[in-house]
Each structure stands twice: as C-alpha cells, then as structure tokens.
Amino acid sequence: MGGNTLTIREVTARAVIAPLERPIRAAVGTIPWAPLVLVDVGTAEGIIGSAYLFAYTPVALAPLARLVEDIGKEIHGRPVVPVERMRDFDRRFRLIGWQGLIGMAVAGLDMAFWDALGKAADRPVAVLLGGEPKPLMAYDSYGVVDPKADEPAIIRSVESGFRGIKIKIGDGDLRKDVETVAAVRTMIGPGVSLMVDYNQSLDPAEACRRIERLIDYDIHWVEEPVPAEDIHGHARVRAATSVRIQTGENWWFPCDMAKAIAAGASDFAMLDIMKIGGVTGWLSAMGQAEAASLPVSSHTFVEASAHVLAVTPTAHWLEHLDIAGAILAERCELADGKVRARGPGLGLQWDEQAIKRYLS
C-alpha cells in the first residue's frame, strides 16, 4: 500500500426517520418521513467517510443498517480503494444477486469510501473524478399536487429560479391527470419545463391512452408510466407517443441499464446513485449513457449526485428533492435554480443533535 492509502477500521450505521419539508405523495402511496441509514466508515488514519441511504420504508431500516455493519466487519483492515472493493463485493454477492438491501448497502459503503478519499485530499469528490463543482440545472420535485393548495409553493419555486417542475400524477382517473397538468402548466407558464411522473402505476395500453391526452401541455418527459422492470412495456409506450419517456431510477447497477438501453426503453436515463452502485457504479453507467446518447438526470441524493453529474458527459437535470436536510449541518446549496457540489468529499456533515432526535 502507498503511503497515502486509507485503511478501513470500522463501519457504523445509524437508522433515523427524518422529517420532510414536503411529504412525498405518489400514485402508489405517501412517504411522510424519510427513513435513512447513515453510514460512517472510520479509518485507521482518523478520516471518516460518510453517506446516507434512503430505505423508503421504516420496515427496512433495521435490516439495512445491520447489513451495512455486517459487511463492514468483513472489510476491516482493507484499503479504501473503491473500485477494488466493488470487485470484492461483486465476487462476494454474485450468487445471491445485487438487487435490494445488499445493493443499497454496497452503494452506501462505496459513497462513504469516496467521501473519505475526498476528505483525505481536502477536495470535493467531483475533483477526484477529474472535474470540478459547477452549477447544475435543477428541477423542483413535487409529489401529487392539489392545484389550489399547492399553487403558492409552485409559483415560489419558479420565482426562486427553477426552470423545471415535476409533479406526480396517476392517483385518479384521466380527467384528474389532465386537470392537474393543465393547471400547473398555467401556473408556471410556457418557459418552464414540466415533467410528470406516473410512478409505475399504469399498464402500457392505459399509459398510451393517458399520455396522448397530455400532449397539448408541452410535457418535457413522462416518467415511469409502467412498472420499472417492464422495459419492453416502456419501449412500447415510447414508440406509441411523441412525448419523451424517462426511466432508470430503479435500474440496479449498470447491468440493468444495459438491458434497458438494448430494449430502447427510454429517451433519457435517470440514475439513482444508491441503486446504480454508488459513485463507482455511476461512472460505468455514465459511460453507457454517453455511448447511447442518453441525457442523464439524477434521482434524489442531491448532495452526492451533484458531484457525479458534474463529470457526466451527457448531464441533463438534477432532481432537487431534499430528503436528508433535517439531519445535515448544512443543506445543499441552491442558487437561481441550480445546485453546486460541496466538499471536501461529498460535502456531508451530520447534525448530531438532530440525529439524536430522529434516531429510530
């Protein structure tokens, strides 16, 4: 090992249920709080690398945190070399597979490794990856909206500089979809991009029927109109409409992305850094996107995503959805509708007093 190599000493994971400024309401249910697992990789050199995982449901918190720590025991004494550790994980978990809690745990560890390396170098991760922190175009991400009740918030988003607004639909019939989309388009005007997300709630035939009625409202993309794993259904919807289709947040590791590209499932790629394999997985995925000419947007994890999008050749939009701000000493920087990566590392600093309040 070289003289600057960090060595893993211990891995700790804490489960918290953090409040959200805006509950995430979708066609498939509501998420009022953010169940998070906070990952800390301590090193023999005194540097601590940190990351967080979004468990979606409190039921997954305890097993996910325990899995992170159990995997951490297996890598005690190993150097903090993310690509080599990911190869080790691939060999270790190939028989059981990546999807689910194992994939989430591995990605959290990978992000923490990169954070540790950035802190050791006193540089943002974006710089370690050969780029630099830069302003990234962000859209404000809403759940299912009530056009009357949510109008002031949506107008404030536009006035603060956001050039894109995303809303979730599909929680009712087609008439409700059209009324909601029409109302939001009127609120934001013609110069702001409007994205809609069905959250996997339709079958291909119904998706085609509904999307056809939304064409007049200049929809930037329709996200996950059918179940995420139905890549051929996505391809069918994409072929049947002139509205562009967005998917990818549920691709597990770059291998899932390759399958979706081969099927022609999407006009874009929306990568979730937790599901795509952390920073290391993202680097492989962004190469696939460049080769396939797919614009890449991020899904949640705004702090880490700002680093990897900064070096993504086909970077498109950053989703502004603050799920961890309540337990961070500083929320992500937002100026004129843009987000810039913060360092050193991933720029995460825990608010320990808040964590004590929200420990699960």
* Active site residue ranges: 168, 299
- In Å, how far are 34, 168, 258, 292, 334 from 314, measured between CA atoms? 30, 25, 16, 10, 21
Question: Could you count the other beta carbons within 10 Å of the beta carbon of residue 46?
Answer: 9
With a CB cutoff of 8 Å and minimum separation 6, the contacts of 160 are 334, 336, 337
> What CA–CA distance (Å, rounded) separates 307 from 313?
13
Residue 2, burial from CB neighbour count under 10 angstroms (0-12, 13-18, 19+): exposed
Ramachandran category for residue 238: left, alpha or beta (phi over 0 → left; psi -120 to 50 → alpha) = alpha
How many other CB atoms are found less than 10 A from the CB of residue 335?
Answer: 11
Report which of 135, 133, 138 is spatially closest to residue 311, judged by C-alpha positions: 133
Q: Which of 52, 136, 122 has its CA nearest to residue 311?
A: 136
